Amino acid sequence: MMRTHYAGEIDPAQCGDTVVVCGWVASRRDHGGVVFLDIRDVAGIVQVVIDPDATTGADPHGIRAEYVLRVEGVVRDRPDGTVNAELPTGAVEIAATAVEVLNAADPAPIPIDDRTEADEMLRLKYRYLDLRSGRLQSNLRLRAKLNTALRDALGSRGFLEVETPMLIASTPEGARDFVVPSRLAPGRCYALPQSPQLFKQLLMVGGIDRYYQIARCLRDEDPRADRQFEFTQLDAEMSFADAEDVMSVIGEVVGAAIEAVTGDAAPMIERLSWHEAMARFGSDKPDLRFGLELVDATEVFAATEFRAFQGAAVKALRVPGQGDLGRSRLDGLIERAKQLGAPGLVWMRVQQGGMLEAPVAKFLSEGEQVGLVDVTGATPGDLLLLAAGPRRMADHVLGAIRLDLGRPPVGEGGRRLAWIVDFPLFESIDDDGRPIPAHHPFTMPHPDDLELLEHGSGAELLDVRSLAYDLVLNGWELGSGSVRIHTAEVQARIFSVLGIEPEVARARFGFLLDAFRYGAPPHAGFAFGVDRLVALLAGEENIREVIAFPKTQSGADPLTGAPTPIEPAQLRELGLSITKSKQSGQSGRSGPLP
């Protein structure tokens, strides 16, 4: 072994011992005579002292930051008054007897220091240097610990880890595929998996019973703070199981993983229906760490003279004690509401005596003003914000403003986990009156809503519920799952409601429909984003901080230069030619098919 100890593990018990550590020079203080080096390795940092009269075999004044060293020396207590309580090894230092420069280093183009924020592009271009920082080291360690805990928790519950292929036919998760042209079948392409969805269902038909995989998934959607092109999901599926079984097992597994990583007791998981989440929080991924709940004031304005509230759902947000919010902040909120799709946002200040002060107050009857104060529970000094229009829009707008006004920073306010159940089967109805599925099209409709699904049309179909459930942590959607359709008849019926012609369904999913004819067990499953869970547990706002080699916001990798042009010879081999190259800049389509 080149070393006897890790730098970060030197402690007072070793005083008097000769040790050898290897690592990088994190910092160096050259006082002309004595030279102090902080040596960093995977375990932490230790101070090395090269005394002026020591013959160590290296010129201590020539050593620079990030040089790679092997240092032999004697551990000793630091002199009185020089103990560094911030550093785990801060009570000791190593008096060097031999220093070997294993490699020199150019000056680092980014600071390798947790306290300074370097430019994002530079951090990604020199990711291998960024990875030396304590922040990324501890995030990656946390991630590995989480993966191990997930494997343990699932393995001990009878789940089998199975790898599914990366080169596949398109999966139906609703985003754009990344495609890989085939050399042996020119003109044809594989798709990279958006999820292992169809394969895990086939595993159930294959009798695997309980499957899981820590799966890489790829979706060509615009990256953002909680989304990268490539991401990792904990993907699972169970046979002879219903929604309750899946929620119970996944809840235990997530709880066990959180406990293993943080040492904190597994948080309790609340449960809300989709309707309740939308009505109270204006979001299907409610952040339950704070109040500011939305209130339905529609009834109060049932007979109103005020045009903007007539025939509309009126939702209100009571912001306690914010009645003195300035005009520019209020204008900012109105602007935000408009960006979110609302025609406007009505604000009112609650005055002493309970009357309202607002530009629109003169349009509201006294009964309406009293009713509004009553239904919101407002008291003098509060601010009321109201959005009116189609219910989903009003909820959505106030839900977003609620987050703007009250959301605690990531890592604060505890961990609030919730299952959101009874999702609508369809997200919206397109211009041709065709429903767009809220999840993938293999989701089982709610048995009580089959009649409506069969005979309903247009907007009525939005009331059809599915047996789908999402897991939400502090306002982040961790993942989703559902009971699956397992008979060819129901699946064909859903394809037809979605307007997918039988030939198209056969061409794309014929193999699944065929498999369903050979004894598919009832099955249900779930998948959640490992990157997101790690980011939340690490207190990071951006999942890039918990991925070793992430991409930028525009999907580029400044380190390797990807995506790069390919050689004409490669194109010829693949039977491809580039007609013109243009930036697409479009976001991922919604709705999975065709």
Q: Which stretch binds ligand ASP (CB under 6 A): 19-27, 49-57, 449-457, 523-531?
A: 523-531
Decide: 63 and 107 in contact? Cβ < 8 Å: no
What is the chain's alpha carbon radius of gyration, rounded to the nearest angstrom? 30
Q: Which stretch binds ligand ASP (CB under 6 A): 52-60, 75-83, 121-129, 479-487?
A: 479-487
Q: Tell the smallest beta-carbon distance from residue 321 to ligand ASP (Å).
A: 40
Residue 231 structure tokens: 């991401």
Nearest CB to ligand ASP, comparing residues 246 and 279: 246
Residue 120 structure tokens: 């994002």
Binding mask 426-465 vs ligand ASP (x if CB under 6 A, - otherwise)? Answer: ----------------------------------------
Binding mask 197-236 vs ligand ASP (x if CB under 6 A, - otherwise)? Answer: x---------------------------------------
Q: Tell the smallest beta-carbon distance from residue 447 to ligand ASP (Å).
A: 18
- In the list 525, 550, 591, 592, the residue contacting ligand ASP (rule: CB under 6 A) is 525
Does position 170 bind ligand ASP by CB under 6 A? no
Does position 195 bind ligand ASP by CB under 6 A? yes
Q: How far is 214 from 232, CA to CA, in rounded Å?
A: 7
* Interstrand relation of 160-161 and 92-103 (parallel, antiparallel or unpaired): unpaired
Residue 269 DSSP one-character state: E
The sign of the torsion formed by the CA atoms of 176, 177, 183, 187 equals: negative
Conformation bin of residue 560: beta by default, left when phi > 0, alpha when psi is -120 to 50:
alpha
* 3-class DSSP string for 30-64: ECCCCEEEEEEECCEEEEEEECCCCCCCCCHHHCC
Does position 481 bind ligand ASP by CB under 6 A? yes
Q: What distances in angstroms separate CA 175 from CA 217, 486, 592, one per listed residue?
A: 11, 23, 7
Question: Cβ atoms within 10 A of the Cβ of 362, count?
Answer: 7
Nearest CB to ligand ASP, comparing residues 170 and 480: 480
Identify residues 385-404 at the interface with ligand ASP (CB under 6 A): none
Output the CA torsion 423→400→473→462 (10° steps).
0
- In the list 284, 526, 544, 545, the residue contacting ligand ASP (rule: CB under 6 A) is 526
Residue 110 structure tokens: 């980014």
Q: Tell the smallest beta-carbon distance from residue 172 to ligand ASP (Å).
A: 9
- In the list 294, 482, 508, 540, the residue contacting ligand ASP (rule: CB under 6 A) is 482
Q: How far is 25 from 317, CA to CA, in rounded Å?
A: 54
Q: Which stretch binds ligand ASP (CB under 6 A): 35-43, 278-286, 478-486, 586-594?
A: 478-486
Binding mask 329-358 vs ligand ASP (x if CB under 6 A, - otherwise)? Answer: ------------------------------
Q: Tell the smallest beta-carbon distance from residue 243 to ligand ASP (Å).
A: 12
Nearest CB to ligand ASP, comparing residues 60 and 481: 481
Q: Tell the smallest beta-carbon distance from residue 440 to ligand ASP (Å).
A: 6
Does position 466 bind ligand ASP by CB under 6 A? no
Decide: 586 and 153 in contact? Cβ < 8 Å: no
**Contacts of 387 by beta carbon, 8 Å cutoff, 6+ apart:** 314, 315, 337, 342, 345, 346, 393, 394, 397, 398
Does position 257 bind ligand ASP by CB under 6 A? no
Nearest to 77 by CA among 132, 133, 13: 13
Nearest CB to ligand ASP, comparing residues 309 and 526: 526
Residue 287 structure tokens: 């952040």
Does position 480 bind ligand ASP by CB under 6 A? yes
Q: How far is 495 from 484, CA to CA, in rounded Å?
A: 14
Q: Which stretch binds ligand ASP (CB under 6 A): 319-327, 352-360, 399-407, 480-488?
A: 480-488
Nearest CB to ligand ASP, comparing residues 123 and 219: 219
- In the list 38, 173, 395, 540, the residue contacting ligand ASP (rule: CB under 6 A) is 173
- Count Cα neighbours of 214 within 13 Å in the Cβ-side half-sphere: 14
Nearest CB to ligand ASP, comparing residues 94 and 191: 191
- Give me the residue label for tokens 């990279």: 192
- In the list 527, 536, 537, 546, the residue contacting ligand ASP (rule: CB under 6 A) is 527
* 3-class DSSP string for 397-451: HHHHHHHHHHCCCCCCCCCCEEEEECCECEEEECCCCCEEECCCCCECECHHHHH
Q: Tell the smallest beta-carbon distance from residue 88 to ligand ASP (Å).
A: 41
Nearest CB to ligand ASP, comparing residues 304 and 482: 482
Q: Given the rule CB under 6 A, which residues bind ligand ASP?
A: 173, 195, 197, 480-482, 525-527
